[in-house]
Chains A and B, each alone.
Chain A
Amino acid sequence: AQSVTQPDIHITVSEGASLELRCNYSYGATPYLFWYVQSPGQGLQLLLKYFSGDTLVQGIKGFEAEFKRSQSSFNLRKPSVHWSDAAEYFCAVGATGTASKLTFGTGTRLQVTL
């Protein structure tokens, strides 16, 4: 069965600093990978997704993620964080052959200091 690990429970960065959130997955084949964000009082919003092809994927709000098969990782990055990026971020992997039934990590809460 697939699994997702987000080793950082909580991260604090200064506004304007760069950000990298880590995600490692366990899956037997080429995975479907996702990053979701949940801002306070909001639902889960899809930031970006990887199905195949170019291993560097661009998402909304200036986020990007890189799929590294050799490291089983799909880390999320942003060059310059804004205060509005404070939220909880979830990495997820799709079950075999589907992007709809997801296995999530435990989430990383991002705090942004001014």
Chain B
Amino acid sequence: EAGVTQFPSHSVIEKGQTVTLRCDPISGHDNLYWYRRVMGKEIKFLLHFVKESKQDESGMPNNRFLAERTGGTYSTLKVQPAELEDSGVYFCASSQRWSGRTEAFFGQGTRLTVV
């Protein structure tokens, strides 16, 4: 069974440009999460989808970030326009259920560098 897959693995863009990150969750996982780690800091929760609906987007830093999950399958995270402080590693995770002892499985992350 395929795990959580993220594209691209690395992205280098200039300040002011737009970047779109993609996450393909494990098949059958209704719950999808985005996390981010900026340099030297902790991995922070960004948002949570249940199927195509945003369940919790309390961690989204500002309105330059737009997450979508059309059809409840893969998800995209768009940063527009990108700023230097957006550099970091963006992780995606998925799980079958939200509540209880259902762990989330993580992808390998996308390393975003804004120059």
Contact = CB atoms under 8 A, between A and B. Distances in A.
Interface stretch (A19-27, A59-67, A74-82, A98-106): A98-106
A107 interface: yes
Nearest to B106: A44
Interface residues of A, number: 25
Contacts of A107: 42-43
Contact of A99 (B3, B40, B48, B104): B104
A43 interface: yes
B98 A98 contact: yes
Contacts of B103: 34, 46, 49, 99-100
Contacts of B65: none
B99 interface: yes
A104 B101 CA distance: 17
Given A44-B93, A102-B45, 12 more contacts: A36-B106, A43-B6, A43-B108, A44-B106, A92-B43, A97-B99, A98-B100, A100-B103, A101-B45, A104-B35, A104-B42, A104-B43
Q: Which 9 A-B pairs have the closest CB atoms?
A: A43-B108, A44-B106, A104-B43, A100-B104, A100-B95, A106-B42, A104-B42, A51-B101, A99-B103
6 contacts: A43-B4, A43-B91, A44-B109, A51-B101, A92-B43, A98-B100
